[in-house]
Structures are given as C-alpha cells and as structure tokens.
Structure 1
Amino acid sequence: MDPILDLARPSILRNPYPAYARLREASPVFWHELLGSWVLTRHADCLAVLTDGHRFASDWRRAGEDVPAPLLSVQTLDPPEHTAVRHLLLDGFRAQDHRGRQEELEREIADLLAALADRPSFDLVGELAEPVALRSVTAFLGVPAPALDWFVPMSRTVVDGMDAGLWPEKHEPAVSARAQLAEYAGGWLADPPKEGLIAHVAERAPDSGVAETVVRNSLRAVLHAGYESASRLLGNASAALLTTPGALDAFRADPATAVDELIRYDAPVQADARVCVADTELGGVTIRAGDPVTLLLGAAHHDPLRFDQPAELRLDRTPNPHLGFGRGAHACLGASMAIRLAGSVLGALARDHPDARAVAEPIHRRNLTLRGLDRFEVTLRPRVGEEART
C-alpha cells in the first residue's frame, strides 16, 4: 500500500508513530507522487524548513501560484505582508484580560465536569472538549459562541479538506464550508463587539496598513484554528492521560511540563506544508525551487535523534522542543491560550476527578493533517466497589 495512505487505516490511525518510524528509517526525505511533494520525517529537517522563510514559503504566490483573495490571511502570507497583520493580532492578544477570562473559564469547566460526573459515562469529545474549546475562543474574540451542531460539522469539513491532496473529493465541500465560515465572520468588523480581540482589531485595523479582506480572513482563521487546535489537543491529551496507567496522577506534579509532553506525544498538528523558493539540500536530497514540501511533524516529535525514548509518555520530560505550535514567523498566535486551556481542563480532571477513566477505546477521525478524536467515552465515577479518592 501507499505509505502515506496507509496511515489512514484504522489500525494505524490509532497509533501512527511506528509507521512514521518505518518511513523515517527507510528514507527520511522522500518524494511522494500522489501528494506531488517532498516529505520530511526528521525533527532537524522540519525545524530547518519552519525557520527558513527565505527558502521555504507559506505564501505560494512566491512560487508563482495563484492564491485566491479569500485565502490570504495571517496563515498564508509571508513577511513583510505577514508582519503587519501578525503585529495587529498580537497586540490584540496582549491587550486582553487573560486572567479574568481564565478565572471565568475555570469556573465554567468545574461546573461542566461536576454535571458530567453525575452521569454513568459521557463523550469527552462532544460534551467537553468541543464545547469548552468553542466557548473559549469565541469569548476571547468577544462574540457569542455559535450553535455546536452548526459549527462543529462545518469546522470538521474544513479540516477534511486539508487532506484533499490524498482524497480530492474532500476539496469542494471544504471550500463551501470555508465560505460559510467567512460569511459568519464577515460582519464582525462592520459591527464589532465592545470587548475582546475583534474589538481591539476593528479599532486599529484602519490605520494598520492591512487590507480589510486580510484582517477579516485572519480573524476567521483565529476562530477556526483556535477551536480546532484546542479541541483536538484536549481530546488527544485526555486519551493519553486516561489510557496510560498512572498518568493522571503524574500530571498533577507539574501540569505545565506535562502539557508540553502531551503535545509532543500526540500533537493535533501532524503535518504542515511549505513551498521551496530557492534550491536547498536537505537530508542529502536537493529540493528545487517550486517543489512542495510536506513536514510530518508527528514523525518529527517521535524522532529518536531528538527525543530520548520518544514512544514513552514522560510527563516530566524537559527540555521538550516539540514543533506542535510551529516555529519561525508562522508560529501559532494562540499557543499560550491553547496551553492554558489544556492546563485548566486537564488540571480540573486530575484534581477534582482522580477516578476519571476510559470506558471505551478512543475513536479517531480519518484526518492526517490534523489528528483528533471522533468520540471518547469516559466516566468520572469510581469503579464499582471502590470509594472515590480525595
């Protein structure tokens, strides 16, 4: 079978890291015909591409590609255009009342977990990770959260489209879903809220030199990327903690270090892409200008040349130079927000519900670019015959 398509087999999707290791051992840099791209599997090579904006572009117009205006955003532009919109958003991030919002969110998380604890079991993805992630990112933006049953399927369709290089039939539905998201976000600048990131950006955007379409597209990207990265991180991390003996107890010792390890161990972002704009040698292979490059970050996170015993979940691992939020000019804007959210949810689980455990195997979605769960049935109750720990 094709070594990349093989990653979507259910048996491998549950744990793709041995398959990544086989790819890395066979050829750490190789050409994949179906993707029409070079594929990188080592940490050092992925890091080199992420941090070399001169030779590897996020803006495919630098390689002569036509990029439609609706796709131009902080995610797809390179400096100097990228610099202006990134600074606009970063200033907005820094201006928010992070502590006040965090305290409010932690109260909501505690209340939600208390309600879920009364039930025999529940779906951690649909009833905890997704609603909490959506509430968190929309509160940060300053807008009401849309209905989950409308937003989640649309967001998932956009993510499915990220794998359209392997499954072309996913492209058109993703284009349609992205257009719906754009329409939803379109009125934010015309009628901004009084508080939150959108309010800050709307006030300063006219004097920023950034085109309104780019500002609008970037705010839409913050909504979608913030939700997806946070919800998938919560699902993946919870699955790791609740299926690894002793992990929930170990998490309490140093939550910040533990979250970093959970990101490395089973990161939401498994792949990223760039286009080469100047001939470069990587891993003994010459990558020519115009060649696409796919970075298998999931493989990089389990590279034994960079991480000791990478298959082990070590919640005290330090240093931990994972690439889960990217590096360089395009490092994730909302990384700190996602880390705080994961620390709050997982910390509440470990502190207030030490008997939490899986009651069924986690079920993964067939996504290779963004890794996440479709469903994960858990309980917060002690086992029958056991008293709850305090």
Structure 2
Amino acid sequence: MTAGTQIRLPAHLSHPFSPAGRADPYPAYDWLRSRAPVHYDAMSRLWLVTGHADCAAVLRDRGFSASAGQQGRARGEELPPSMLTTDPPDHTRLRAPGLLLLGPAAIASVAEGIAADVDDLLERLAGETVVDAVREIGSPLATSVFLRLFGLAERDRKVFAQLAQAASINLDPLAGPQVAALGRSAMAELSRFLDGHCAVAAPSPLTRLAADDRLTRPEMLGVLGLSVVGGWQPLAEAIGNALYWLLPRPEALAALREGGDELARTAMDELLRLEAPIPFTARVAVGNVTLPGGEVPQGARVLAVVAAANRDPAVFDRPGELLLDRTPNPHLAFGGGPHFCLAAQLVRQTGAVLLSRLARRFPAASLADANPAWAATMIPRRLRSLPVNLGGLPVDLDDLPADLAALPAEPGAVPAKLGGGDAY
C-alpha cells in the first residue's frame, strides 16, 4: 500500500485520533485492523499498524528505529540521552544500569514499602464517601512509589509530584508547541531536582544507579527522567483505567477479594490489555519492511497501535471483555522487543497490590459516575476524573463536591486538527 492510497472509515465511525473518536477509539481500531492492518493514514501522515502480529513485528524488528521515531517529535531540538531515544547498541548500554532502578531486585527492595503505602492510602480514604480515583488514588500512590524508589523524604512529595506531572506532558506526541516547550522545561527542572538529591537521598535504587560508573551524569539523569515520564504517570493512570473497568462489575470485584495474589496479578495484566495508558508507540522504518499485514516503505513514520493490537480477535478470545484470569495474555501494553518497558514489573506489582487490597477494604465500591469523561490527550490514555463511591451507595452527581463534579479544561489539550503530523 502506498502513501497515496486512501483508507476511508465508514460514516458512522470517527477517526480514532479525532476529538470525537478519542473517547472510544476501539470501533475504528476494529474496523481498520480487519480491513487495513497496515496502512498510510492521511489525517496523521503516519503509517498505522493495528494488528497484533504486525505491532509485535514493528516492536521487535531491527528494521524499525525507536530513536528516529522519538527524534521526529523533537521539533529540531536535541533530545536528552535515554533508552527511549536510542537504538542498540547504545540502548543496551543504557538499559543495563537502568535495571538498578527498575529491575527485579530494585522492585523487591521496595515491595514491602509499596504494600505499606497502599494500606496507608486506603486508610486515609476510609472516612470518605466519594473520592476521585485519578487524583486521590492513582496519582498519590504513584508518587509514594517513586519517593521510595528515589529515597526521597515525605517533605519532597509536593515538589516531586508537581514536577512529575508537568514533565509528563512530554508523553503526548500531539501537544502543541507551547505546551511541548513547557514539558521540556519541566523535564530540565526535574533533572536538576533529582541531580541535587542523588547525594543526599536515603539508600535506594536511585542512589545505586547514581553510583554506577557505566553512565555519564547526563545519561544517568536521562534514565531517571525517563523512569518518571514513562513510569509515574502511566502507573497513576493505569490505576484509574483499571477501576473504570473493574468497579461496574461487582462479580469481578468479588472475585478479586477471594482470588488472592495470583488472580490480582493476572487481573492487572488483563486491565492493562483493555485500557493501556500508552496506546501506541512510534518507529521509523530504516528500510523497506514486509509485515504480516502489508508493506512499509523505507523512511515511513510508523505508529504501532498497541491498543488496537490488544483487542485482536486472532489472538484474544472475547477481546472486548474483561476476563480476570486470562492466561496466556500476550498483550503489548508494555511494548515489546528491546524497548519492552523497564517499569513493567513496577506497574504490574503496584496495581495488583492496590486492586486486591481495595477490593477487600471497600467491597461495595462502585462508580459514582457511570459515564466518566476521557481526557483529550492521546498519551497517556486517561480519565479526566473518576468519581468512586467507596460505600457503594447511589450518589447524585449534583451533590458531588465541585472539584469532582466539574471537568476542568485540559492543560495539555491537543488541537482539534492534527495538522502537519510532525509530532512524532
């Protein structure tokens, strides 16, 4: 298929990147995956890959460059060195020390602390009736987890959370130039903040990474910054997205209460499959590449739409349903190949602990709003708010506190038209 070939969605479907299509892009993804799993999209000026086999190949094939895919988002500015902005062998060299921060041993060293953080958070919520799961569960928990990973003190919570939130704008490839510039400034400030704490933080995965001599100081700070942008907000949003699916299903909540740690882990993977915070990832073809679903020409800017791949009926039985015990579950929510998300274990483990303990602590929890609104941003895929009734009783939305009932304007809202497609 050439760049001139037009794929037109039927009139009843909105383009998944359009304002109308972002709230529920899955019908369009299903249509595209079944008819044109590899195609040039004139609206975004990108090649969209929606089949599971095709996305898996893009993520693993050395014929696609992650470095070039990310540099396309920089608008002429040099991106800091990190695993995200490099290909092997540089990527491999940076990733190995990154295990000191997010590898199995690092996560094991903070596992008990994460469980304690979950218990403390739920204890604080016990006196509440309705809470916003996005702002009062997901974000505070993600912040607590990263304070532990970085050996930061409780007094650092507010500043770290503000910087992490501001720097996470860098996740959104469709952010306008001014918003993107703010994100880069926030990342620079976050790097200075973390650099200043490397020598004074409590012994932690951060201090072990900082002491490793395999990386230069800028490279080490690049790994730290990426861990925040690629870990803090996706973890926070994964919690809200998971509760969006879980709480309307009392039978699923009951199964989690009885199923133990193993079911909680498989459930978290299933919830990530259904609503991945990172719904696609960018690559550039370094040569002509043949994928199972079609040909991609050299130089093509490609989006592996993992949110579409994760509902491919060729791989997943009943792909649009929540099956807590789905095994195997080869979802691509964490990517694949050399760039498989280094924070995957952290997100899985934290999410599983939270869901299991929340199900036991609040057995009648339910959504206070049956139709919560999705944010305008493409990455991360997240809810603007998720009012949760911890007691399970019906709530009149007119009686909610103003900060829950109102839907504030998105600070990083994207323009209605994608424009020149140069965000990638």
Scaled to the shorter chain, the TM-score interval is: 0.7 to 0.9
Task: Summarize deviations over 1:188-207 as a string: whole Å, max 9, x none.
Answer: 45x352411221112112xx
Match of 1:195 among 182, 203, 206: 203
Aligned to 1:158: 170
Q: CA deviation at 1:288?
A: 2.1
Q: Distance in 2 between matches of 1:65 and 1:277?
A: 17
Shift in CA distance, 329/259, structure 1 to aligned 2, threshold 3 Å: same
State which drifts further: 69-78 or 271-280.
69-78
Question: What count of residue pairs does the alignment treat as equivalent?
Answer: 376
Aligned to 2:386: 376
Q: CA deviation at 1:7?
A: 2.7
Match of 1:312, SS state, is coil
Q: CA deviation at 1:377?
A: 0.5
Q: Distance in 2 between matches of 1:332 and 1:15?
A: 25
Task: Summarize deviations over 1:88-131 as a string: whole Å, max 9, x none.
Answer: 11144448564452222222322321321312211111011101
1:73 matched to 2:89? The reply is no
Q: Structure 2 counterpart of 1:125, which letter?
A: V
Q: CA deviation at 1:243?
A: 1.9
Q: CA deviation at 1:234?
A: 0.6
Q: Structure 2 counterpart of 1:55, which letter?
A: G
Aligned to 2:220: 215
Match of 2:15 among 6, 12, 17: 6
Match of 1:172 among 177, 181, 184: 181
Task: Summarize deviations over 1:209-264 as a string: whole Å, max 9, x none.
Answer: x3322221111111221101211111100111012342211234211111111111
Q: Distance in 2 between matches of 1:288 and 1:341?
A: 40
Q: Distance in 2 between matches of 1:65 and 1:367?
A: 15
Q: CA deviation at 1:35?
A: 2.9
Aligned to 2:361: 352
Match of 1:246, SS state, is helix
1:366 matched to 2:376? The reply is yes
Aligned to 1:313: 322
Show the 5 A alignment for 1:56-95. Answer: 56-60=64-68, 68-94=77-103
Structure 1 length as normaliser, TM-score?
Answer: 0.87
Q: CA deviation at 1:185?
A: 2.9
Match of 1:250 among 231, 240, 255: 255
State which drifts further: 27-36 or 173-182.
173-182
Q: Are the aligned partners of 2:70 and 2:84 in contact in 1 as well (CA < 8 Å)?
A: no
Q: Distance in 2 between matches of 1:283 and 1:326?
A: 18
Q: Structure 2 counterpart of 1:163, which letter?
A: L
Shift in CA distance, 21/230, structure 1 to aligned 2, threshold 3 Å: same
1:184 matched to 2:193? The reply is yes
Q: Structure 2 counterpart of 1:141, which letter?
A: F
Aligned to 1:111: 120
State which drifts further: 358-367 or 179-188.
179-188
Shift in CA distance, 58/192, structure 1 to aligned 2, threshold 3 Å: farther
Q: CA deviation at 1:331?
A: 0.6
Q: CA deviation at 1:43?
A: 0.4
Q: Structure 2 counterpart of 1:223, which letter?
A: V
Shift in CA distance, 103/62, structure 1 to aligned 2, threshold 3 Å: closer
Shift in CA distance, 12/286, structure 1 to aligned 2, threshold 3 Å: closer
Q: Distance in 2 between matches of 1:375 and 1:57?
A: 35
Task: Summarize deviations over 1:291-342 as a string: whole Å, max 9, x none.
Answer: 1110111000011111111011111111100011111111111111111100
Q: Which runs of 5+ in 1 are unaligned?
A: 385-390
Shift in CA distance, 64/245, structure 1 to aligned 2, threshold 3 Å: closer
Shift in CA distance, 91/111, structure 1 to aligned 2, threshold 3 Å: closer
Aligned to 1:20: 29
Q: Distance in 2 between matches of 1:366 and 1:63?
A: 23
Q: Structure 2 counterpart of 1:136, which letter?
A: V
Q: Which runs of 5+ in 2 are unaligned?
A: 1-6, 395-424
Aligned to 1:50: 59
Shift in CA distance, 2/379, structure 1 to aligned 2, threshold 3 Å: farther
State which drifts further: 291-300 or 172-181.
172-181
Structure 2 length as normaliser, TM-score?
Answer: 0.81
Match of 1:281, SS state, is strand
Q: Are the aligned partners of 1:264 and 1:323 in contact in 2 as well (CA < 8 Å)?
A: yes
